[in-house]
Structure 1
Amino acid sequence: MQHPNYPCQTLVAATLEGEAPNKKTPYLSLSNFYFFYYASLGALLPYWTLYLESLEFTVLQISQLMAVFLATKIIAPSIWGWLADFTGQPVRVIRWGGALSVLFFGLVFIDRGFVSLFVMMASFSFFRNAILPQMEVITLSHLRHQLTRYSQIRLWGSVGFMLAVMALGLVIDLFSVTLLPAIILFLLVGLWLSTLLISEPASLNCREGQGGLLKLIMTPNILVFFIVGFLMQLSHGPYYTFFSIYMDELGYNKSLIGMLWNLGVLAEIGVFWVMHRLMSAFSARSILLVSLLLSVIRWGLIGFHAESLVLLLLAQVFHAASFASFHAVCIHFVYLAFPRQYEGQGQALYVSVSFGGGGALGAILAGVAWRDGGAQASFGSAAVVCALAFLIAFIWLRFPAHRAGEANDVG
């Protein structure tokens, strides 16, 4: 049962129904959080595998360590969401999550053996991966009727990611990748400090829907949606786990590798910026199918033509499709397919199944493919997985024409 004082995940719908806006939005404190959260991700995602490689771990060990980082997304959001509901103090929960992230990441300085790092990655990521969904709810609660300002706040997350990627590429080139843990710890401390500046939002009363969620999830169209989302994130396994290592093997310097990551983020920002226009001009289903096709091409270009910088740049621009446009229409699907009382649980399931389950399995399978066949086998398999997702979506997936509970037809 939802705690009556917690701004639950149906917040957007509630605020649009007439809640009074906050007198003042804490723009700076909210932006600080997103900046440090994504800056720490910008340090982790492109360079952590290079650090693990410097410790002489095998590709399978690296893939397992990255998999556990992603696997905590399967359970952490739900557990921490329940804790925030139960206590009615989501900001305090977020602050504890930030503090424990710092504490457990600090274990990296005690022992760098595989088992120790596995425990560190599991515990650290359990707390770090759980706080963002709670923060999204708090941000929207503060914005209330100023929901259009969300992009102005979230933008600082992308800025933090890009600056971290660029700066660390230079630092690693000039000095050593061994500095990475200390830099990540510094950013995590910044993240924790930013949570201390966040104020508790005004309370909203939310009611939990009665029954029917499992029955809703088991409907064929929604099952197909989760399968497609799972496969899409599974296909990202080679990219998130071995892209930096692969580029390093091809002779690209760390600064250029960072720029390649940033190009993908810039393409992502561009698509998010115009997404409302794209969805006005094209159906959400068409955008999803095109996103899947472009993702097939992207993984093929990286796996078989990465020696060509021009084609590699094109592949990174396609991040706009493999993440941004695909993710945007998936959020839209959940909004349409899940009635208001289940919207938050639908979004949590989407994150858990796709980014958690698909991402973790993708990292493990990428390691196996990389060991047996190298980059071509790994990224080639990703392209095949995306092609399968396209076929499944093309044949079976339909987007509801209206929100569930308001109309029954799909289109």
Structure 2
Amino acid sequence: MPLSARVAAIFAAYFFGLGLFLPFFPLVLASSGLSAGEIGTLLAVPMVVRLAANPLIGAIVDRFGTPGRAIALLSIIAAIAFSGFFVAKSFLASALLLVAISIAWSPLMPLGDALAARVEREGKGDYGRMRLWGSVSFIVANVIGGGLIGEWTVTVVVGGIVAGLFAAGLAALTVSLPRVEVDENESVSIASPDLALAEVVDDEAPPAIAAGTRRRGLGELFREGTFVTPGFLLVILAAGCAQGSHAAYYAFSALHWSQAGLSGTAVGVFWGVGVITEIALFAASARVRAVLGINGLLAIGIAGAVLRWLLFPLVEAPLSIVLLQLLHGLSFGATHLGAVAFVARMAPPQWAGAAQGINSMIIGAVTALASAVAGYLYALGAMPAFAAMSVLAAAGGVFLLAGLVVARADASSR
């Protein structure tokens, strides 16, 4: 089996569990008698944990591990820990479980993205075409979960997530790639990082890589002269605002639609329709990026998020919901592709996992705050919660513009 197909299998298994977690795990928590505020707070826990876990574990994997084995180990640990939700009922028990789970589960996505980006960089596959199988699996989970939730909510959601994580671990064991070796006396870092950033956001040649800095630890990423510059962080923050604006959707879309009288099957179909547009974008990612560029992908994704959340609480008819869900390809798909491609082109190979971890960390910080806020705003109604998400996405547009201005100003001063 080609290497790209094995990486695609990891995405498919991982996203099957995620396709149950995002729309239906709030229903598991609600079945335990937890309030909307408690649910919003609990859903913020994984985002908070990944602030530290993702870049730290990514750096450890970069330095000491091979990516396939690391993903396998983390997947199996997360599966075992998630089994605890078969019996957990209280807020405290759920919070403690989510902390333990998130340490292993949260780094899986950035590690998978880094692995797929490396496979693409080595000419052995296309990132979008590998990643789209995760989206296909996500839809399958949406439909299966939507048809079976109700009396079997906990069994289906928790059991499916555990099965998906175990399957991801087994698939990862088939991927054998050595870690990137770096000479202890001479490694690589980006030369003239501000100029490199300006070139990347303009979609010119990838940034030059030159000798200069030994890789010692995670702190090395934040010293002067690396790719982690103010302009870099502003662009990633822009993507984080667009991605974080999905917090109310992840936490309360199933509850919102259920309270409107729509069935669990309908909820699963609505989620699936949204991801179909994501799949289409991933399948054509190389061509779309050639036309729009990384900067264009981020901009159109942010615009899609602003419009989507403004309209979300106003749309109630099933056909209108389906049409609105088509914006998911922009609000999530375009910003995800843009952010992953941006980080992959900015970071030197030996920091691929940690760099994607920083990307995930920033998204996690924004999403954690947005999840907690959404929980309390949703108690006032869907309109305040989703209006706040639209404002958050719009802030991403401001940060994107600021990042480009800072990068070009720094580049011109050199």
TM over 0.5: yes
Give the secondary-structure state (helix, strand or coil) at the position aligned to 2:125.
helix
Alignment of 1:207-218 (within 5 A): 207=187, 209=189, 210=213, 213-215=222-224
Q: Distance in 1 between matches of 2:329 and 2:249?
A: 14
Tell me the equivalent position of 1:376.
383
Contact 1:301 1:312 in 2 (8 A): no
Tell me the equivalent position of 2:367.
359
Query: For 1:193-220, what per-residue CA distance to the aligned partner results, in whole angstroms no more than 9, with x for missing partners?
Result: 3334x24224542335426744357754
Tell me the equivalent position of 2:145.
168
Give the secondary-structure state (helix, strand or coil) at the position aligned to 1:290.
helix
Q: Sort the Cα spacing of 1:68 and 1:31 in 2 relative to 1 into closer, same or farther, 3 A.
A: same
Contact 1:25 1:143 in 2 (8 A): no
Q: Distance in 1 between matches of 2:59 and 2:401?
A: 36
2:124 to 133, 141, 147: 147
Contact 1:142 1:202 in 2 (8 A): no
Shift of 1:358: 1.1
Give the secondary-structure state (helix, strand or coil) at the position aligned to 2:381.
helix
Q: What's the RMSD between the two structures over aligned residues?
A: 3.0
Q: Distance in 2 between matches of 1:228 and 1:28?
A: 32
Q: Is 1:267 equivalent to 2:274 in the alignment?
A: no
Tell me the equivalent position of 2:310.
300
Q: Sort the Cα spacing of 1:400 and 1:220 in 2 relative to 1 into closer, same or farther, 3 A.
A: closer
Q: Is 1:134 equivalent to 2:104 in the alignment?
A: no
Tell me the equivalent position of 2:319.
310
Q: Is 1:247 equivalent to 2:254 in the alignment?
A: no
Q: Distance in 1 between matches of 2:352 and 2:243?
A: 21
Letter matched to residue 362 of structure 1: A
Tell me the equivalent position of 2:154.
178
Shift of 1:341: 6.5
Tell me the equivalent position of 1:74.
51
Give the secondary-structure state (helix, strand or coil) at the position aligned to 2:284.
helix
- Identify unmatched segments of 5+ residues in structure 2: 190-212, 214-219
Query: For 1:102-125, what per-residue CA distance to the aligned partner results, in whole angstroms no more than 9, with x for missing partners?
Result: 221122233321111111111112
Give the secondary-structure state (helix, strand or coil) at the position aligned to 1:397.
helix
Q: Distance in 1 between matches of 2:228 and 2:132?
A: 36
Q: Distance in 1 between matches of 2:233 and 2:64?
A: 33
Q: Is 1:348 equivalent to 2:357 in the alignment?
A: yes
Give the secondary-structure state (helix, strand or coil) at the position aligned to 1:307.
coil
Shift of 1:321: 1.2
Q: Sort the Cα spacing of 1:260 and 1:409 in 2 relative to 1 into closer, same or farther, 3 A.
A: farther
Q: Distance in 1 between matches of 2:349 and 2:75?
A: 30
Tell me the equivalent position of 2:133.
156
Contact 1:233 1:362 in 2 (8 A): no
1:118 to 91, 95, 100: 95
Q: Distance in 2 between matches of 1:142 and 1:392?
A: 30
- Identify unmatched segments of 5+ residues in structure 1: 1-23, 402-406
Give the secondary-structure state (helix, strand or coil) at the position aligned to 1:148.
coil
Q: Distance in 2 between matches of 1:281 and 1:32?
A: 29
Moved more, 220-229 or 248-257: 220-229
Give the secondary-structure state (helix, strand or coil) at the position aligned to 1:147.
coil
Q: Sort the Cα spacing of 1:327 and 1:387 in 2 relative to 1 into closer, same or farther, 3 A.
A: same
Q: Distance in 1 between matches of 2:331 and 2:54?
A: 23
Contact 1:275 1:325 in 2 (8 A): no
TM-score, length basis structure 2 = 0.81
TM-score, length basis structure 1 = 0.81
Alignment of 1:195-210 (within 5 A): 195-196=172-173, 198-202=174-178, 204-206=180-182, 207=187, 209=189, 210=213
